[in-house]
A and B are shown apart, each in its own frame.
Chain A
């Protein structure tokens, strides 16, 4: 019944929007990643109109401590977005006229500068800074460079929280980009441009050691107690859950929170790094993971459509329901987001440009 709920709520509304998704072959990070990404953007009609003279905020995927690695590999080769793709994104955004490019992430258990986490991940921060004018970095686990949090109301009928208090960077921007990795996720089945935004939630408010009344500006833990398991509420400074009697199961909660977050903070451009990645989970702490080389990059102007195509490239149905791979123990985040009216998961309505899905297909379940 739980799995059917989103489909039931989605049915009566108008058809959710669709947008083209482009796919390009990129066999390794030693290739000209910038050229491949530029091709993707061109196939989408270019990004100049989207970003010229704008502030662009790019949410990275740097999940887990940079010290925890799979077989000693650099995180960009396994579970983080690769720094070369990050650099290429900065360069192309700058070339398209972006006035300010702000890379954001809420990294594991720290509110320190994001640059430190990047350095600890083996990224060359100086190269990133010189990739374009106006490059900035912000750790969104706490207040950061602002004096107040921004409240993002989830429109319509949110699933879990009426609103989320986030770092100012998610508000002080004209364009929001989700730069994700093509991975499975232990709880959510897949983690793509939508699930990447789970990290928008600051640990200061939604972390295990968040303050009871006010945010803890020096968080040192993850978000399991508040968001994954619902064992406690966020700091009282932020709105509490809508339905405290609802399921505490992570497979129920996390997909809904992600759908709410993306409805509250819309994604204008989704980019998915499937050059090299991992299958079987989202990070080295998941014991069944293995390294994979799908050799693809993807981009789209609608995150649900982009994730639908990416899910298909991974060998799954983007409309699969709970109990079906990859959503074996969870609800389908894509369908929940579709039900919010964010975008369609219907591959028949999504125009794929560049490499067809059939040619890009890389089955994550073997």
Chain B
């Protein structure tokens, strides 16, 4: 009996250390931490945030964070003696370094100064090392997600006749199609803007439904109110934490791949890195789509697809053209961009299409729209005009999830999803804690489910 008590006592004694074990980079849930006071860390209680990006590195704070098992990363600008700054930060015992901006000469000297500690580069989209073995890819460039509003306050109409939603999802999908690295979206709230709690939820979900993480960054006003522990701000903070936890509790979603019977063949280093492009246009129509990097175009990548869009036909190698020819010979429908069309690349600070390019892309979009028609390309969603969605499938194909994010200020009621007959069971989960089986009813496409209400986010799990 005493032996058992001693054994348990030993285990309990180790608990603080066990708790303090740092998670691997792929599990880091990052936030730009605006405070240096160790007492501020109390705000992390009950949240899944375990990685703090620090502009100011104080040893006491770093030590207090480490004691909680929280990773600290020093954020360095790419000017001046970056290697020296990295050495000083490492001396304060931070876990690693974040270089925010583009180092013309590369990060080798910083890596050397970090002495094997993780060095994460938040670069321009055009400088992201796609295909590298970096554990985390990140960019400081992103659109601020939400329903686009024109100067006069009216909602901006899209070619679809529905509202246009600014989103990073197309970009994230294109990058993720290239490889399995963890992707951080590190764009910050628009300056001189008070951001509501609901908008933060949209930004978190916009990244998470496509498998990325938004590096949580609070605007100055929210930061001040949170520091004062104002009740409404604390409630918003809890909702943000709940939403982060919702996605972190389902790591399997991050390992699923975009699924759809429509494939977009595009060079992610070009048009795929822009927002507002063909992937986002298709996303607004809720057509499930799988991006295939031109460089990864193989018969296997097209398996299961019935339609494909080749955005930049001139960029394909003869072998890649042959893959698409085989696809059409076997019954697939192929839509090719207009002759002479060149997929635009992001340049400098520009991460969205200019008006002329957008109009040209609209032509492709209309053709895609016409080609898809009412066909069910994986799932058809109804009453989702203020939402974006993403259909992801597990590697074995037996399970799929449909993520929904609502960008409107109001909940959306009566959403319907129609899907192929192979899925027999459906479960709804939401960040509010809902987890319930949905009645699957027959539809002309196979099955369908109804969802009563979507606040900010909901996920339908489909199982064969």
Contact = CB atoms under 8 A, between A and B. Distances in A.
A121 B383 CA distance: 5
Given A68-B161, A68-B162, A68-B163, A122 B409 contact: no
B196 to A, nearest CB: 14
A71 B413 CA distance: 14
A66 B161 CA distance: 9
A108 B161 contact: yes
B198 to A, nearest CB: 11
A246 interface: no
Interface residues of A, number: 23
B448 to A, nearest CB: 9
Contacts of A72: 386, 408-410, 412
Interface of B: 152, 154-155, 157, 160-163, 373-374, 382-383, 385-386, 408-410, 412-416, 441, 450
B412 A122 contact: yes
28 contacts: A65-B161, A67-B161, A67-B163, A68-B157, A68-B385, A69-B163, A69-B385, A69-B386, A71-B410, A72-B386, A72-B409, A72-B410, A72-B412, A73-B410, A108-B161, A112-B374, A113-B374, A116-B374, A116-B382, A119-B383, A119-B416, A120-B382, A120-B383, A120-B385, A122-B413, A123-B414, A124-B450, A126-B441
Nearest to B153: A287
Given A71-B410, A72-B410, A123-B414, A66 B383 contact: yes
Given A120-B383, A123-B414, A126-B441, A71 B409 contact: yes
A109 interface: yes
Chain A interface mostly helix, strand, loop or mixed? Answer: loop
4 pairs of A and B residues whose beta carbons are closest in the complex: A67-B162, A67-B385, A119-B382, A72-B408
Nearest to B162: A67
A44 interface: no
Interface string A62-82: 000111110111100000000
Given A67-B385, A73-B410, 20 more contacts: A65-B161, A67-B163, A68-B163, A68-B385, A69-B163, A69-B385, A69-B408, A71-B409, A72-B386, A74-B414, A108-B161, A109-B161, A112-B374, A119-B382, A119-B416, A122-B383, A122-B412, A122-B414, A123-B414, A126-B441
A65 B162 contact: yes
| Residue from B160, B373, B383, B413 having most chain A Cβ neighbours under 10 A | B383
A109 to B, nearest CB: 6
Contacts of A73: 410
Contacts of B163: 67-69
A121 B154 CA distance: 20
A136 to B, nearest CB: 15
Contacts of B374: 112-113, 116
A237 to B, nearest CB: 23
A122 B157 CA distance: 20
Interface string A123-138: 1101000000000000
A341 to B, nearest CB: 39
Contact of A124 (B161, B385, B414): B414
Interface in A43-73: 65-69, 71-73
B1 to A, nearest CB: 63
Contacts of A121: 383
A67 B160 contact: yes
A65 B414 CA distance: 17
Contacts of A67: 160-163, 385
Nearest to A222: B161
Contacts of A124: 414, 450
Nearest to B284: A67
